[in-house]
Amino acid sequence: MLARMFTILYQDEHLVAIDKPSGALVHRTATSREGHIVLQGLRDQLGRWVWPVHRLDRATSGVLLLALDPETASALARQFKERSVDKRYLALVRGWPEASGVIDRPVHTGEHRNPEKKKPAVTEYRRLAQVELPVEVDRYPTSRYALVEVHPVTGRYQQIRQHFKKISHPIIGDTTWGNGKHNRFFRERYGIRRLMLHAVRLAFTHPASGDPLAVEAPVDGQWRGLFREFGWEEPEL
């Protein structure tokens, strides 16, 4: 089987940013060793070592930043730790959340959901578009969905997914924190078989030059198909 070629969004002698597809692991784990692995695949694609500086969930797509040397990796990781990196996501959620809001609730830190291991987490969001479909998916005669821009202030395990579950607006396609009935509806009606969460923009300070740098990842055909179906314009963030 041919190795996957990742789309390069930005590259220089210090760092590289790719558009990570949904379903690709950043690196192998004890429980997930199969499938497309970003670190191995990108190393082979570039012909050089790469260092991760942050993570995206396997199911999440979008901007993923990696360093091309250990010094840059340390400098970028420090920016993430200090929360000076501006992260923006697009999410398709069930229901109509408030026009904007802040979710300030602790989240689980791992897969086992131990309530004693929750950590503080903050997520900001604003609603960009909404639609009401004349279809009874759950217990109402119509079904509502919304497109939201999400800004995670902290960077916890599956934070965005957990937070929208907590406010009763789970992300479409989320098989862990989502709603199975709505996931099934989007799978059968629109062919959506992925988590509808996309890291659309990452802004940070370039470690070498000190200049601000923003990298953006366009949405894919599945997102654009829904925008056309719902009469939404592709957002400019």
Task: Supply the DSSP symbol for 116.
Answer: G
Q: Where are the alpha helices (DSSP H) in the chain?
A: 38-46, 70-81, 159-166, 180-190, 221-230
Among the listed residues 12, 44, 57, 220, the single catalytic one is 57
Contacts from 72-76 at CB under 8 Å and sequence distance 24+? Answer: 72/14, 72/15, 72/207, 72/208, 75/207, 76/15, 76/204, 76/207
Distance CA 172, CA 179 (A): 8
Distance CA 102, CA 199 (A): 18
Q: Give the sign of the dihedral formed by CA 229, CA 230, CA 233, CA 235.
A: negative
Task: Supply the DSSP symbol for 69.
Answer: S
Distance CA 107, CA 177 (A): 12
Catalytic residue check, 57: yes
Distance CA 234, CA 232 (A): 6
Radius of gyration from C-alpha coordinates of the chain:
18
Which active-site residues does the annotation give?
57
